[in-house]
Structure 1
Amino acid sequence: MKKLVSLIGALFLILVLGILGFVFWQSPSYKGELKLSGLKEEVEIYFDKFGIPHIYAENESDAYRALGYIHAKERLFQLEMMRRVGSGTLSEFLGPDFIEIDQFFHTLGIPKHAKESNAAFMAQGETPWKKAADAYVSGVNEFIQNGKLPVEYLLLGEKPRLYSLEDMHSILGYMSFTFAMGLKTDPLVTKMSRELGPDYLASISVQTLPEHHVIPNHYPDSLNTENLLVTSELSALLEKLPVPLLEGSNSWVISGSRTQSGQVLFNNDTHIGFASPSVWFEAHLEYPGFSFYGNHLAGIPFGLVGHSRHHSVGLTMFENDDQDFFEEKLNPSNPNEILIGEQPFPIKSRKETLKVKGKDPIEFEIRETVHGPIMNPVVKEIATLTSNPISSWWVFVLEPSRAMEALYQINHAESMQQVADAAALIHAPGLNIMYGDKWGNIAWWAAAKLPIRAEKVHSKIFADGSDPESQPKGWYPFTENPQSINPPSGFVASANNQPDTTRNGIFFPGYYYPGERWNRIAKTITSREDWDLESIKSLQLETVNEVSVENAKLMLSQIDRRQFDEHSQILDELALWEGNHKLNLSAPTLYYKWLYHILRLAMEDELGKDGFEAYLQTFMMIRSTHHFLKHEENKWWDNRSTDIFESRSEIISEALAISLEELSTQFGENSREWDWEKAVTIEHPHPLGAKKPLDKIFNIKTEAVEANEEAVNKLAFKLNSEGIYKVTSGPAMRIILDFADVEGSVSVLPTGNSGNRFSKHYADQKELYAKGKYRPQLMNEKTIKEKSLSKILLLPHE
């Protein structure tokens, strides 16, 4: 009866929303005339087959005002969620379930930093980037005041407040936090170090290992830029965020020496948590002297990724370590001071007030040392590890962000030097800026302000805040940052892996991936010299992981096959596996189940269930697995809860027996029916989709994809005991551009360009994406205007 009532309620809600959509919203209009405040001239906006706006204006201000209006029209609720996260005001909008998240972001300092960055931005005066940002904000607010609000506001009983430049900096703060890996990793590494010791750490990859692949540097003499001086509870908290986390990325740029056309070939696919709508909003702007096709974050007027007719810029996560944690020593004679050596330093305190929907406001205290905010009250992993104050020293909040200026300059750059100068303005988060142009240049810059640490400081283990020798020592100049400009190899590539030693001898620490994707990219690119837009697609869509093959062979070498005679067929298939993840294969189904149980049996007795789950969600799991498996003397093999000493072969054999039994129950006795497709699910969740039955309305599901751990076309999932793998992140777009035909570039988004549930462009790219297909990024004016399905004409108010 309860299920029936629930079903009737769900059907009723769907019916009501359907009626509301038909009567009030319908499919949002992509045609007609509108008057827009502040316009100087008419603006034409043409929409192509996939709802990409092509904006034609007579001046810069009108172009960005129009972009703001259209961006809000298509992505206002996404903008709302992102600014609420970055400003620490989710609970005001969504209720008390988000109080802990708001307190966490306020303590970390992101809302405070947004205010400081905005003040610095305003203090620059009427710069070109401020004028463009102001125009964009005005366009957003025009829609908020006069447009049809998305249905999400009706369901929540809310209305949006006006957008501001401070909100814009809050969104950049949200983005920067998603790149910060320290809070997700360092408490766990510290726990391992303190409770287990160096022998256990030696069997995992806390730092980059010799067998990992590094990005080669190539420093030019001619290009110079200005020198600029755990448990799983946190992961569970972050899973409540109504916006996706930025997680990784691939990008490579091939010089004309290796392409069929003799021109540069540019590729980028940023890896971001799946969401509905997906993160990137595509828009094409044209006004006299400017032509740019960009991928935008909601609320940001300048493309983080994009291309003009003469240059293209992409990004991946640098993954540099820019956050340290200091364990403080309280002054015995004054608990409101810490000691560094014998010198006391005050602990400052400030009050923050949270507005909570349906509740009274909450006031809470944030305490800060000279190293940064004390995180114990908002990070349970830290609170359970020590009672001493732990301060977060995070590069991002140490100085105002100049990201808005940098992005404007990158979008409007006329040369490689101008992009390098703009990249030098980005102090955090760490980004790999990828570059190619029509003049044949290719480049990669690791953009970040890199701290000089004391030799005794391990960047992933809590430092002794009272030791004068453990304090930060300054900054490396940007010109020494990892980079490669027109290298002899004929390509630059980054895949979140470790850059090689810089010319000043620094092997900078970070949360880097092992380089398996980079190695596949590098080997493939150097295998031929006639690449073009069509042939390079096979690399961008590849789901092969060579290291998984090595792991599988090692695992098979540790078992006595005679004990598993009845499963010889699936073991033979795994032995012949080439590391691809085709949906009709059974080898991946066994491999990931077996790997999970190996790691669980080896590590759960030391870390506990929650600690083990936390480990599975760190970068360490991916880059440690091969090293972990091949290390026979690995301390983790022994189960500390038993009196006997368990060996590697015993743990691996036991894990296989458990896996085969579970798979037989899950998919049947016949292993030929254990297709990878049956173990994979993919869904793009909407913020309201967490409440059933709204998931049926807002979330987007697609057919199964070739999910994998660390292939070039990385479609990531978490290892788990259930053996059903929900793909949670992947390429947030796939871009390919040949400078022989800039107007023929292609891309695809995971869902669609619109965030409006009633738009025909809400999910019109999902099948293209799932099937590995592309659609054009139109820039030819004649083609756009002739093939456009609809047009909006924006008129100035008289």
Structure 2
Amino acid sequence: MGKFILWMIRGIAALVGLAVAVLALVYYLASQSLPEYDVTRETPGITAPVEIVRNNANIPHILGEKDSDVFFGLGYVHAQDRLWQMMMMRRTVQGRLSEMFGARTLKTDELMRRLDLYSLARGSLQYQDDDTRAALEAYASGVNAYLARVNSEALGRGAPEFFLFSNEISPWQPVDSLAILKLMGVQLAGQLEDEVLRARVSLALPEERVRDVLPDMPGTGVASLPDYAALFDGAAPRFANMDIQERPTLWPSPKRGFAGASNGWAAAPNRSAAGGTLLANDPHLGFSAPSIWYLARLELSSGGVIGGSIPGMPLIMAGRTDGFGFGITSSYLDDQDLHLEKLNPDNVDEVLTPDGFKPITTRGTILRIKDEAPVTLTLQWTPNGPILPSDMYGLGLITPVGHAMSLSWTLLTEKDRSMSAGIGLMRAATVMEGIAAAADYVSPSLTLTMADNDTIAMKVIGQMPGRNSRHQTQGRIPSPGWVKDNLWGAPLSYSANPEFVQPSGGILGNTNNKIIDRPFPAHMSFNWGDSQRIQRWKRLMQAREVHTRDSFIEAQLDSVSVTARTLLPLVGADLWFTGEAAPVGTPERDRQDALGLLANWNGEMNEHMPEPLIYSTWIRALQNRLIRDELGPLAKAFTHVDPVFVERVYRDIEGASIWCDVIQSAATESCTDIARVALDDALLWLSENAGGKQESLRWGDYHQAVHKHAVLGDVPFLKWFVNIRQSTSGGDNTLLRGLTAGTGKNPFQNVHGAAYRGIYDFSDPDSSLFVTSTGQSGHPLSRHYDDLGELWRRGEFTPMSLDPELARAAAVGVTRLVPRPK
């Protein structure tokens, strides 16, 4: 027995030793790709020495004698810190993920091939100006210089992920950067999903009820639309009966409601305490580890520019120069239209046009799949754009037999000078120069908030489609592509894009809210990203005669929900402090306790409080109760509460209170009945999922910001090393926006928000502040993988100066690239 125990101990010790040895080997191999920052290297591709000074947050300050050398340096540092991220984005836009991940990414590759973005990017290279082509070539040379080091010195394959997946990396090309900008357009586009949902709802409900559940933004309404089914000739059309598929792996197109957001505002000198302009910006995107943003400073011939870049592109997308700042928000321009295409019954390779049946343009493409035979796709384009398969976006549910669905989109063009516009914006010195530089910008459409030393402005950039005023559906639901009035003409001129310069009140801003109220087709959009945050922003801006950098930070971090303050008095109007006393543990007592907490709450979505969780659970359950009997399975598409819909119901606007009556029941339920039952639903969910007393609940335990690694984030064991989780305040409708997942075991998980924040004060430009949601490095073993994330969670920042001596004083490393002797 003693010998058996001894051998067991030896065996366990051997296994432990083996595990330690394996972990040590894994760590050793992975750590080989950690970049060395304090070094001098001879490098081909530059004309003069380049100095890369990294401050204590690992933010590179890139200094060189020529702009081409500076862009080379940016490519070099992007590859050092974010090589895996860059290669993933390139493979995504090329439609080549399945070569690495197998059949699970096949649908994602199919979408990108059908959109043909990489070919369009290749064609757009010829339309860039000489300055931009030089920047793209220099940037690509910088990336490739680092790749050459990885290959020659066996630097852990460049990133740990390449040990698990293919490490075949082709050289970076200028077209790759153009393609990644187009990929950003895919990630910020949401009008297509809105068209599909509106069409589905219009097939299920009368028009007045569609206006309830998919309400227009408050303001002047829109003329009634035709019934979707009435757009087809002849007998009632037949639609497919199919289930909506789960989103494929690494699908780049956002879910409805996740197509980018953002805040941006500025104050003129007369509204600034220090007498200089102020600008604040926090673009909202889906969280990831690492963040999509990478902080950098470039010293160009036009002057220094500092702010947020996106690895893969030679651009500072949001930031400042010495006297000019620019921020971006999603504009919500309606730049997509779905078109029904009638197939020729005698030849399915033709579609009906205003001039009769015309051939569909076709081209074959081969998708290579890891460990499987390749698949050949036939890409189809009509005069309106690419045909999308019926199993994407649920298109089969709204496409009648004998028809197909095509997509018109401003992004789908070779004549795209957006990269040149971005390079020009970095070189602008004034607001007016910034507006002029963005004239050639096409897609993705953005709202630029700008400030120079004495002027503030806001300008929508991006090509506005030229629609006909007689368009049958106004682009809100798919329209027949054979009707001339539904087709796009020449785009509107840049002067038609909304523009606001030096407003009389001295303050302007955008929270993705409705900014103009022009009639169709110059309307810009019917779908906007916010009707709530803007109300809180207006109150905060008007509460002070003058603002400071700190007051702008306070506004960025404000977690008060106007939505909660508006809806709770409406929904609970007949419930507050009513009912007889009830013993502890009964549903009646639980309801009274919850109402007591909410009655004394100010609407602050604070991570340490229980009220935000009770409120969010209640309103979510309430919307579900209101819509599920009318919409049935379609109710699953409404993953987030629409405050305008709930307010319409509880104010009985245009008879909307009818939603409170349950169709299938004999009784007539009131809105108070539904509010009470929904509160019971919410409290039951909380007891099953949270437990404990209501007072001990904590919003931040459920509203955790989850920065997930795009590939390894769901892999057991590894996910604990590569994912970043942070308890956060805020919510769907607060300025400190943390958009909840809306689905899954925890629908309140924070998955989309301000991954970058910047505050620029032009009375003292070097006091400007920046932060991102994770860190500069994409390497999980780097201390810079998540070091900025803790600052971000606490609402703190890191300074970034254009003074090179300040950067050198706090440098953690200086890389000197010198030309290799010929």
Do Structure 1 and Structure 2 share a fold, with TM-score over 0.5? yes
Q: Residue 298 of structure 1: SS of its match in structure 2?
A: coil
Q: Residue 38 of structure 1: SS of its match in structure 2?
A: coil
Higher mean displacement: 549-558 or 450-459: 450-459
Q: Which residue number corresponds to residue 630 of structure 1?
A: 651
Per the TM alignment, residue 555 of structure 1 is displaced from its structure 2 partner at its CA by: 1.4
Distance 1:382 1:646, change over 3 A: farther
Per the TM alignment, residue 303 of structure 1 is displaced from its structure 2 partner at its CA by: 0.9
Per the TM alignment, residue 524 of structure 1 is displaced from its structure 2 partner at its CA by: 1.5
Q: Deviations over 1:335-361 (max 9, x none)?
A: 322223562222222211111122222
Please show how residues 396-411 of structure 1 align to structure 2 within 5 Å: 396-411=411-426
Please show how residues 93-108 of structure 1 align to structure 2 within 5 Å: 93-108=100-115
Distance in 1 (alpha carbons) for counterparts of 2:436 and 2:643 = 34
Contact persistence 2:186–2:253 (CA under 8 A): no
Alignment pair present for 1:587 and 2:611: yes
Per the TM alignment, residue 622 of structure 1 is displaced from its structure 2 partner at its CA by: 5.4
2:270 to 226, 242, 257: 257
Identity of aligned residues (%): 25
Q: Which residue number corresponds to residue 459 of structure 2?
A: 445
Per the TM alignment, residue 11 of structure 1 is displaced from its structure 2 partner at its CA by: 12
Opposite residue 145 of structure 1, the aligned amino acid is A
Contact persistence 1:256–1:262 (CA under 8 A): yes
2:202 to 193, 206, 212: 193
Alignment pair present for 1:330 and 2:343: yes
Q: Which runs of 5+ in 2 are unaligned?
A: 1-13, 222-240, 581-587
Q: Residue 759 of structure 2: SS of its match in structure 1?
A: strand
Per the TM alignment, residue 647 of structure 1 is displaced from its structure 2 partner at its CA by: 3.8
Distance in 2 (alpha carbons) for counterparts of 1:232 and 1:252 = 42
Distance 1:636 1:9, change over 3 A: farther
Q: Which residue number corresponds to residue 181 of structure 2?
A: 172
Per the TM alignment, residue 62 of structure 1 is displaced from its structure 2 partner at its CA by: 1.2
Distance 1:638 1:720, change over 3 A: farther
1:759 to 782, 788, 805: 782
Distance in 2 (alpha carbons) for counterparts of 1:46 and 1:369 = 51
Higher mean displacement: 10-19 or 729-738: 10-19
Per the TM alignment, residue 534 of structure 1 is displaced from its structure 2 partner at its CA by: 2.1
Alignment pair present for 1:394 and 2:409: yes
Distance 1:243 1:655, change over 3 A: closer
Distance in 2 (alpha carbons) for counterparts of 1:578 and 1:547 = 11
Distance 1:669 1:288, change over 3 A: closer
Distance 1:460 1:408, change over 3 A: same
Q: Residue 388 of structure 2: SS of its match in structure 1?
A: coil
Q: Which residue number corresponds to residue 739 of structure 1?
A: 762
Q: Whose radius of gyration is greater, 1 or 2?
A: 2
Distance 1:598 1:102, change over 3 A: same
1:607 to 631, 634, 645: 631
Distance in 1 (alpha carbons) for counterparts of 2:597 and 2:784 = 42
Q: Deviations over 1:10-49 (max 9, x none)?
A: 9988974554334662543210111111221111111111
Q: Deviations over 1:607-662 (max 9, x none)?
A: 344x3232226xx8355443344336345434444455544333222211121222
Which TM-score applies when normalising by structure 1? 0.90
Distance in 2 (alpha carbons) for counterparts of 1:762 and 1:232 = 40
Distance in 2 (alpha carbons) for counterparts of 1:474 and 1:346 = 23
Q: Deviations over 1:692-728 (max 9, x none)?
A: 22211211122x1114111111011033575552110
Distance 1:676 1:416, change over 3 A: closer
Alignment pair present for 1:133 and 2:136: yes
Q: Which residue number corresponds to residue 469 of structure 1?
A: 485
Q: Which residue number corresponds to residue 444 of structure 2?
A: 429
Distance in 2 (alpha carbons) for counterparts of 1:652 and 1:669 = 23
4+ residue runs over 6 A deviation: 8-15, 242-245
Q: Which residue number corresponds to residue 224 of structure 1?
A: none
Per the TM alignment, residue 331 of structure 1 is displaced from its structure 2 partner at its CA by: 3.0
Per the TM alignment, residue 476 of structure 1 is displaced from its structure 2 partner at its CA by: 2.3
Q: Residue 20 of structure 1: SS of its match in structure 2?
A: helix
Distance in 1 (alpha carbons) for counterparts of 2:798 and 2:20 = 32
Contact persistence 1:179–1:246 (CA under 8 A): yes
Q: Deviations over 1:180-215 (max 9, x none)?
A: 112322111101112212022121344322299xxx
Please show how residues 697-716 of structure 1 align to structure 2 within 5 Å: 697-702=721-726, 704-716=727-739
Q: Residue 202 of structure 1: SS of its match in structure 2?
A: helix
Opposite residue 367 of structure 2, the aligned amino acid is L
Per the TM alignment, residue 101 of structure 1 is displaced from its structure 2 partner at its CA by: 0.7
Please show how residues 354-373 of structure 1 align to structure 2 within 5 Å: 354-373=367-386
Alignment pair present for 1:684 and 2:697: no
Per the TM alignment, residue 766 of structure 1 is displaced from its structure 2 partner at its CA by: 1.5
Alignment pair present for 1:317 and 2:330: yes
Distance 1:137 1:9, change over 3 A: farther
Higher mean displacement: 570-579 or 663-672: 663-672
Alignment pair present for 1:80 and 2:64: no
Q: Deviations over 1:444-473 (max 9, x none)?
A: 101122123233323221112232332224
Higher mean displacement: 634-643 or 363-372: 634-643
Q: Which residue number corresponds to residue 696 of structure 2?
A: 673
Distance 1:392 1:629, change over 3 A: farther
Distance in 1 (alpha carbons) for counterparts of 2:164 and 2:18 = 14
Distance in 2 (alpha carbons) for counterparts of 1:185 and 1:235 = 17
Please show how residues 521-600 of structure 1 align to structure 2 within 5 Å: 521-559=537-575, 561-562=578-579, 564-600=588-624
Per the TM alignment, residue 732 of structure 1 is displaced from its structure 2 partner at its CA by: 1.1
Q: Which residue number corresponds to residue 639 of structure 2?
A: 616
Distance 1:13 1:254, change over 3 A: farther
Please show how residues 159-238 of structure 1 align to structure 2 within 5 Å: 159-210=168-219, 233=244, 236-237=247-248
Distance 1:711 1:15, change over 3 A: farther
Q: Which residue number corresponds to residue 64 of structure 1?
A: 71
Distance 1:420 1:166, change over 3 A: same
Per the TM alignment, residue 690 of structure 1 is displaced from its structure 2 partner at its CA by: 2.2
Opposite residue 532 of structure 2, the aligned amino acid is E
Contact persistence 1:275–1:685 (CA under 8 A): yes
Per the TM alignment, residue 154 of structure 1 is displaced from its structure 2 partner at its CA by: 1.2
2:27 to 18, 21, 30: 21
Higher mean displacement: 504-513 or 237-246: 237-246
Distance in 1 (alpha carbons) for counterparts of 2:531 and 2:201 = 24
Contact persistence 2:390–2:396 (CA under 8 A): yes
Q: How many equivalent pairs are there?
A: 765
1:507 to 501, 523, 534: 523
Q: Residue 469 of structure 1: SS of its match in structure 2?
A: helix
Per the TM alignment, residue 669 of structure 1 is displaced from its structure 2 partner at its CA by: 5.5
Contact persistence 1:48–1:789 (CA under 8 A): yes
Per the TM alignment, residue 559 of structure 1 is displaced from its structure 2 partner at its CA by: 4.3
Distance in 2 (alpha carbons) for counterparts of 1:664 and 1:397 = 50
Distance 1:163 1:622, change over 3 A: farther
Contact persistence 1:232–1:613 (CA under 8 A): no
Question: Could you say what the CA RMSD is over the residues aligned between the two structures, in angstroms?
Answer: 2.7
Opposite residue 545 of structure 1, the aligned amino acid is S
Q: Which runs of 5+ in 1 are unaligned?
A: 1-7, 213-229
Which TM-score applies when normalising by structure 2? 0.88
Distance in 2 (alpha carbons) for counterparts of 1:11 and 1:288 = 57
Q: Which residue number corresponds to residue 802 of structure 2?
A: 779
Q: Which residue number corresponds to residue 652 of structure 1?
A: 675
Opposite residue 77 of structure 2, the aligned amino acid is I
Per the TM alignment, residue 516 of structure 1 is displaced from its structure 2 partner at its CA by: 2.0
Opposite residue 570 of structure 1, the aligned amino acid is A
Contact persistence 1:251–1:269 (CA under 8 A): yes
Q: Which residue number corresponds to residue 318 of structure 2?
A: 305
Contact persistence 2:303–2:322 (CA under 8 A): no
Distance in 1 (alpha carbons) for counterparts of 2:414 and 2:691 = 58
Distance in 1 (alpha carbons) for counterparts of 2:542 and 2:109 = 48
Alignment pair present for 1:790 and 2:813: yes
Q: Residue 74 of structure 2: SS of its match in structure 1?
A: helix
Q: Residue 390 of structure 1: SS of its match in structure 2?
A: strand
